């Protein structure tokens, strides 16, 4: 690509910008964690890691990198699953994790303004203490908000509340040439020019570096009740979901899970799940401002589930039980990871009434490919997570089977009018599947957009769709 | 710009694509209405109007225009206010109003798929009859859905439900070179590549022609109650709004209005408004699934209003009264228009807690500029509509005063961290104000995006930000 190789002179400039040299890691001082993310086997070290603390620092470094043609990769807490934050061309890594301050809670506009390194769990705790609610709820609570915005993270409450995109009102962004711009703001409506704020959301750090975000808040619902519903089979459970959607009750979440994943989670957390006797479960959550309101909503859904063969309805109406169920649900990824030697994942999303087809397909795929696959996911919004487990396979067998399984799953998703990624993004690891599924005319337009933001292609190259 | 002038040979091609020649208007057969929209004094005739009935027709014409360098302007029902659908370079006008079919109501995915020429009022009636709800509610009910998407139209329910953007799941779009692409789909979540669907929304027909839209529906709330609340002064009314927002009750709508606008509406509709004795009013709407739920929500708000000096609380709990109030509200634009010889408007949006500053500024502006200005708007979401009235001013006086007033209002909006347009778009008429308020770095990026979609710049040139 003809990038300039980062050298000692460049380091001098970085030291000059970042007075505190402890915030600059160079060469052998770079921890191994900076060479990869949480899951993908995409591995590459940066030449230097800069732990920035201000927009000004980001802007100065970005301008220098632009002028000198040095690649830059932004990184939050590195919890991604597709290698989006791995510096494929080495160069400078901008670590935003020290930009972790809440800047303003604006109660009159129902917004909160934060730096990008604030963790999702910190944000949630901060606003809930003040009786506000930030609805996006991805499983990985130690992700940064900057990372969540960059992947348009979804999570478990999407059925009722939507995804990260729906809660971003404004962004401060450092463009690849170092210019600092503001997109959106605190305004509720906006029809002023192209939707650049929306374009930035989900662009996986390829168009600009987010240095500030103004997020929309809601009043905290006063009550939440979850229903854990055992079914005799996965098929029965999943087939019930479109009927729930059609019934016009709106749960906050509709998750599905199988016994084997629950057993993994019990083992991982060292505590029992309320029930693990059935083959498959739906886990539903309802929230609202009064018990009556919630009961009205779930009564009808419970009836539908029983009609469809549910074995029981466990109602969790204490916050302890509530927490124990959702904690187990939140641990699924780590629990499955702990049950094998290595794994890779797919994050496909299909229309909600095709979830059953997709889940059944994945469930039976092991017969065809002879590899263990575990899945769980957001039945209510069509977003499924399937994990292909390496176990004791040899390198060669693993690569063959993993690729085979992936191709079959993404192929099926296309057939069902689904998309490659519901919430984890494409990054580096899923690029070939995006290229295979997306109209070449749109790839070309995306390349044109990338060029409009980053004519020298120095910001996070080789990601999403770029060779 | 070096466009090819549309001639008789081009007409032959159009006749060949459109077998039914009654759907092609040429030269003198073009009605005057095609030369302008609902308000702006932007005027220009196309060379030909093609009333398309299918995506295929749009694609063929677009490809021909692209190959031959002929400008194309898409138009719905022409209810815009900023000249976005006026063909500044003449050429071909694509009128989508005959593409007005509902294609599919998908109850399992809670989506409806429509052609772009379906009118907002047709869509609302269609889904409500089936107990579904399409929340976006712009004042102009005879706008097309394609037009609503192209301006990211907002409307009165934005406080609780958001804007058009929040209800578009998928789009079929004909690109400037004639290629037909699909953006998004029926999926609820999507993190697959850049947010091209979101970019298309609000792009005012400059990036592609929308030929199909899949929209998200909600279950229809079972009940709605409105409160009409008279205040002794506009200031008192507006100052109450941030307190309502802060109280964590979420009304569907919070509108403000003044007596003089109500009197205009009474005259225009020939029927009385429930009350017009006070100087200013807030109009609030609450919806939900039971009377109790709604009463719980508005009790507290009513209390706040009375504490802030409200003179009374009129509760409208019958559908007749409800309709009469909102019908009057819906007629404000036309009523004001009828009260003068000519007018122009601003559609600024400011953070919700700055609405008071903005409204007061506009209210007092007549003293400075000596021109009549009327305003009303969406107090709950910060989006204000102010109308500058020509009355008996001479051409010269009008141009001077109108420009002066506009510049002052947009200047104030910038000062309050607002934006040029909340929901009407920028089109042709507000371009200079966008150029004045937006960071040049962002204008340049928008130009790059336009180029990525439309390298020959044949689709709706001179709009939004383009010279």
Highest mean pLDDT among A50-59, A281-290, A315-324: A50-59
Q: Which residues of B touch A84 (CB under 8 A)?
A: none
The answer to whether A256 and A297 have CB atoms below 8 angstroms apart is: no
Q: What is the pLDDT of residues A146-160, one digit of tens each?
A: 999 999 999 999 999
- On the question of pLDDT at A403 being above 70, the answer is yes
Residue B387, SS3 per DSSP: strand
Here the tokens at position B57 are 């027709």
The answer to whether A229 and A281 have CB atoms below 8 angstroms apart is: yes
Any idea of the CA torsion for B151, B157, B160, B166, to the nearest 10 degrees?
Answer: -30
Task: Please name which of B115, B252, B251, B248 lies closest in space to residue B171, comparing C-alpha atoms.
Answer: B115
Q: Do A193 and B250 touch (CB under 8 A)?
A: no
Q: Looking at the complex, report in whole angstroms how far the Cα of residue A243 sits from the nearest Cα belonging to chain B.
A: 7
Q: Do A442 and B193 touch (CB under 8 A)?
A: yes
Q: Where are the domains of chain A?
A: 102-219, 223-333, 334-423
Rounded to an integer, the average pLDDT of A209-237 is: 95
Q: Which residues of A touch B154 (CB under 8 A)?
A: 189, 191
Q: Which residues of B touch A434 (CB under 8 A)?
A: 192-193
- pLDDT class of A227 with cuts at 50, 70, 90: very high
In the DSSP assignment, the letter for residue B301 is H
- pLDDT class of A449 with cuts at 50, 70, 90: very high
Fold (topology level) of B340-425: Alpha-Beta Plaits (3.30.70)
At B39 the pLDDT is 85
Q: What is the pLDDT of residues A93-117, one digit of tens each?
A: 999 999 999 999 999 999 999 999 9
Percent of all residues in chain A with a pLDDT value above 70, rounded to a whole number: 100
Cβ neighbors of B147 (< 8 A, separation 6 or more) are B76, B77, B79, B80, B85, B116, B153
- pLDDT class of A321 with cuts at 50, 70, 90: confident
| Phi, psi angles (nearest 5°) of residue B103 | -90, -35
Q: Do B350 and A188 touch (CB under 8 A)?
A: no
Domain covering B229-319 in this structure, CATH number? 3.30.70.3450
Q: Do A245 and B420 touch (CB under 8 A)?
A: no
- On the question of pLDDT at A223 being above 70, the answer is yes
For chain A, the distance separating the N- and C-terminal CA atoms, rounded to the nearest angstrom, is 11
In this complex, the residue of B109, B158, B381 whose CB is nearest that of residue A351 is: B109
Fold (topology level) of A334-423: Alpha-Beta Plaits (3.30.70)
The H-or-E segment that residue B412 falls in is helix B395-415
Residue A71, SS3 per DSSP: coil
Q: Which letter, b or e, does each residue of A42-81 get, where b requires 16 or more Cβ atoms within 10 Å of its Cβ? A: bebbbbbbbbbbebebbbbbbbbbbeeebbbbbbbbbbbb
At B1 the pLDDT is 57
Q: What is the pLDDT of residues A337-380, one digit of tens each?
A: 999 999 999 999 999 999 999 999 999 999 999 999 999 999 99
Task: Please name which of B346, B354, B329 lies closest in space to residue B418, comparing C-alpha atoms.
Answer: B354
- To test the contact with chain A by mutation, choose from B154, B172, B194 the residue with the greatest count of A C-beta atoms within 10 A, namely B194
Give the count of Cβ contacts less than 8 A between chain A and B. Answer: 261
At B319 the pLDDT is 81
Q: What is the pLDDT of residues A35-79, one digit of tens each?
A: 999 987 889 999 999 999 999 999 999 999 999 999 999 999 999
The answer to whether B190 and A419 have CB atoms below 8 angstroms apart is: yes
One CATH from 3.30.870.10, 3.30.420.130, 3.30.70.2190, 2.40.160.40 for A223-333:
3.30.70.2190
Domain covering B8-98 in this structure, CATH number? 3.30.43.10
Domain A102-219 has CATH 3.30.465.10: yes
Tell me the C-alpha distance between A98 and A126, whole Å.
17
Residues (pLDDT < 70) of chain B are 1
Concatenate the DSSP letters of all residues of A192-234 into one string.
Answer: SSS-HHHHHTTSTTSS-EEEEEEEE-EEPPSEEEEEEEEESSH
In the DSSP assignment, the letter for residue B349 is B
Q: Looking at the complex, report in whole angstroms how far the Cα of residue A152 sits from the nearest Cα belonging to chain B.
A: 6
At B26 the pLDDT is 97
A223-333 matches A102-219 in CATH topology: no
- On the question of pLDDT at A1 being above 80, the answer is no
At A113 the pLDDT is 98
């Amino acid at each position: 690509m003809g990038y300039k190789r980062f050298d000692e002179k460049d380091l001098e400039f970085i030291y000059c910008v970042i007075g505190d040299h402890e915030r600059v890691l160079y060469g052998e001082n770079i921890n191994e964690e900076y060479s990869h993310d949480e899951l993908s086997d995409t591995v590459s070290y940066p030449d230097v890691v800069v732990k920035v603390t201000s927009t000004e620092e980001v802007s100065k470094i970005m301008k220098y990198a632009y002028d000198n043609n040095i690649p830059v990769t932004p990184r939050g807490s590195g919890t991604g699953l597709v290698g989006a934050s791995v510096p494929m061309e080495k160069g400078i890594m901008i670590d935003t994790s020290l930009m972790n301050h809440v800047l303003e809670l604006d109660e009159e506009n129902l917004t909160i303004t934060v730096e990008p390194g604030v963790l999702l769990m910190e944000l949630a705790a901060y606003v809930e203490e003040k009786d506000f609610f930030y609805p996006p709820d991805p499983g990985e609570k130690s992700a940064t908000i900057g990372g969540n915005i960059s992947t348009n993270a979804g999570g478990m409450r999407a059925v009722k509340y939507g995804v990260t995109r729906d809660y971003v009102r404004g962004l401060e962004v450092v463009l690849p040439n170092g210019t600092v711009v503001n997109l959106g703001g605190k305004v509720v409506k906006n029809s002023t020019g192209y939707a650049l704020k929306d374009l930035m959301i989900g662009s996986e750090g390829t168009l600009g570096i987010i240095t500030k975000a103004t997020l929309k808040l809601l009043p905290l619902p006063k009550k939440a009740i979850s229903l854990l519903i055992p079914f005799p089979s996965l098929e029965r459970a999943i087939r019930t979901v479109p009927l729930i959607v059609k019934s016009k009750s709106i749960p906050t979440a509709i998750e599905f899970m199988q016994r084997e994943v629950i057993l993994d989670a019990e083992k991982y957390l060292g505590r029992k799940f309320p029930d693990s006797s059935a083959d498959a479960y739906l886990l539903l959550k309802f929230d609202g401002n009064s018990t009556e309101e919630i009961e009205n909503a779930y009564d009808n859904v419970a009836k539908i589930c029983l009609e469809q063969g549910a074995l029981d309805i466990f109602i969790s109406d204490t916050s302890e039980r509530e927490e124990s169920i959702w904690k187990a649900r939140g641990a699924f990824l780590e629990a499955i990871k702990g049950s094998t030697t290595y794994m890779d994942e797919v994050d496909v999303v299909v229309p909600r009434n095709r979830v059953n087809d997709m889940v059944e397909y994945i469930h039976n795929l092991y017969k065809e490919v002879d590899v263990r696959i575990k899945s769980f996911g957001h039945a209510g919004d069509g977003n499924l997570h399937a994990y292909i487990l390496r176990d004791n396979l040899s390198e060669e067998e693993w690569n063959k089977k993993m690729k085979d399984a992936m191709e079959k799953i993404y192929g099926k998703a296309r057939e069902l009018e689904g998309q490659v990624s519901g919430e984890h993004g494409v990054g580096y690891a899923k690029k070939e599947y995006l290229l295979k599924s997306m109209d070449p005319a749109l790839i070309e337009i995306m390349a044109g957009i990338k060029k409009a933001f980053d004519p020298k292609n120095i910001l996070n190259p080789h990601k999403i769709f770029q060779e």
